[in-house]
């Protein structure tokens, strides 16, 4: 369903979208919200088939995510998206997740670019691909929080992951949602069971390709003055860095 520039869909949370807590995972929440933007694009006639026919694809380069709570299995939610603004090279898109009482569960801001499928380089956004969204044309799109970087003095732990064929999407790169699983899986189960995610800032720097072995590195959790806990993360392979993130948690 669409209303003005916003597009929304209902959803019931299924068991295979949740973790051991019975609540939806961050990766699955992002997958579902992004699916709504794909459905909006299809409804406007500028979906994946249209973009691929023009040898192009949308790529998300940055997210900032605020979470009030994650919905649980069997819960009915409403997923909303809007392509809010754009300039020549960048588009700003927002997502919202609401429960059945219209209480906001999560709010996601994203920055997107268009990539040439052959050169794998960013190109200017074609007017024909962005005009149907009726987003505001601006000189500068909103700036999202940049995650803190891991330094040589941080205490860290790491895990390696093999990039599989089934990790790839129709743009022929690793679906961004997989990064969230890699980032959070580097934390131990005790920490994950005792903390609830509240905020995420993530920046994607380079494409992870099929066959790569990537390393997920996380810092030792740090408790801030307001009682929240922060962890800094990166996805890398050798000297190449693919993503960096900063996660904020509260004690469950």
* Token digits of residue 85: 């603004």
Mean pLDDT of 18-36: 97
209-228 confidence digits (pLDDT tens): 888 899 999 999 999 999 99
Q: In which residue are the tokens 């869909």 written?
A: 9
Note the pLDDT of residue 180: 96
Q: What is the mean pLDDT of the chain?
A: 95
Note the pLDDT of residue 4: 64
* Token digits of residue 36: 């709504």
Note the pLDDT of residue 85: 97
* Token digits of residue 73: 């299995």
Helices 26-43/176-185 angle, 10° precision: 170
Cα 98 to its chain centre, rounded Å, is: 17
**Class (C level, CATH) for 156-251:** alpha beta
Note the pLDDT of residue 155: 96
Start-to-end CA span in the chain (Å): 35
Using the predicted structure, report yes or no on whether residue 1 has a pLDDT greater than 70: no
2-137 and 156-251, same CATH topology: yes
144-170 confidence digits (pLDDT tens): 999 999 999 999 999 999 999 998 887
Q: Is residue 224 within 8 Å of 183, Cβ to Cβ?
A: no
Name the residue among 191, 196, 203, 187 with its Cα closest to residue 241. 203
**What is the pTM assigned to this prediction?**
0.94
Give Cβ neighbours of residue 75 (< 8 Å, ≥ 6 apart): 12, 13, 99, 100
The ranges assigned to domains in the chain are 2-137, 156-251
Using the predicted structure, report yes or no on whether residue 247 has a pLDDT greater than 90: yes
Architecture of the domain spanning 2-137? Roll (3.10)
Mean pLDDT of 17-44: 97
55-96 confidence digits (pLDDT tens): 999 999 999 999 999 999 999 999 999 999 999 999 999 999
* Token digits of residue 176: 């961004």
Q: Percent of the chain scored above 90 by pLDDT?
A: 88
With b meaning 16 or more CB within 10 Å and e meaning fewer, what string describes 190-199? Answer: eebeebebbb
Helix (H), strand (E) at residue 3: strand 2-3
Coil, strand or helix at 75 = coil
Give 19's pLDDT tier (boundaries 50, 70, 90): very high
Note the pLDDT of residue 186: 96
Mean pLDDT of 193-214: 94
Using the predicted structure, report yes or no on whether residue 2 has a pLDDT greater than 60: no
Give 135's pLDDT tier (boundaries 50, 70, 90): very high
- Residue predicted with more confidence, 169 or 131: 131
Name the residue among 207, 211, 117 with its Cα closest to residue 170. 117
């Amino acid at each position: 369903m669409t209303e003005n520039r916003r597009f929304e869909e209902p959803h019931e949370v299924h068991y295979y979208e949740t973790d051991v807590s019975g609540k939806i995972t961050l990766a699955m929440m992002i997958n579902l919200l992004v699916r709504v933007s794909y459905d909006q694009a299809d409804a406007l006639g500028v979906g994946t088939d249209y973009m691929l026919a023009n040898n192009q694809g949308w790529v998300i380069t940055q997210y900032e995510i605020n979470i009030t709570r994650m919905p649980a299995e069997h819960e009915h939610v409403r997923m909303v998206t809007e392509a809010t603004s754009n300039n020549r090279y960048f588009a700003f898109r927002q997502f919202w997740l609401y429960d059945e009482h219209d209480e906001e569960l999560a709010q996601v801001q994203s920055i997107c670019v268009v990539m040439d499928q052959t050169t794998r380089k960013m190109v200017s956004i074609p007017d024909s691909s962005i005009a149907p969204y009726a987003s505001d044309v601006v000189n500068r799109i909103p700036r999202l929080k940049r995650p803190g970087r891991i330094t040589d003095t941080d205490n860290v732990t790491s895990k390696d992951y093999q990039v599989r064929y089934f990790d790839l999407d129709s743009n022929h790169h690793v679906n961004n949602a997989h990064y969230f699983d890699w980032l959070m899986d580097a934390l131990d189960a005790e920490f994950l069971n005792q903390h609830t995610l509240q905020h995420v800032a993530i920046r994607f720097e380079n494409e992870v390709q099929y066959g790569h072995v990537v390393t997920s590195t996380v810092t030792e959790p740090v408790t801030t003055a307001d009682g929240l806990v922060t962890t800094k993360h990166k996805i890398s392979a050798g000297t190449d860095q693919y993503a960096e993130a900063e996660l904020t948690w509260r004690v469950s």
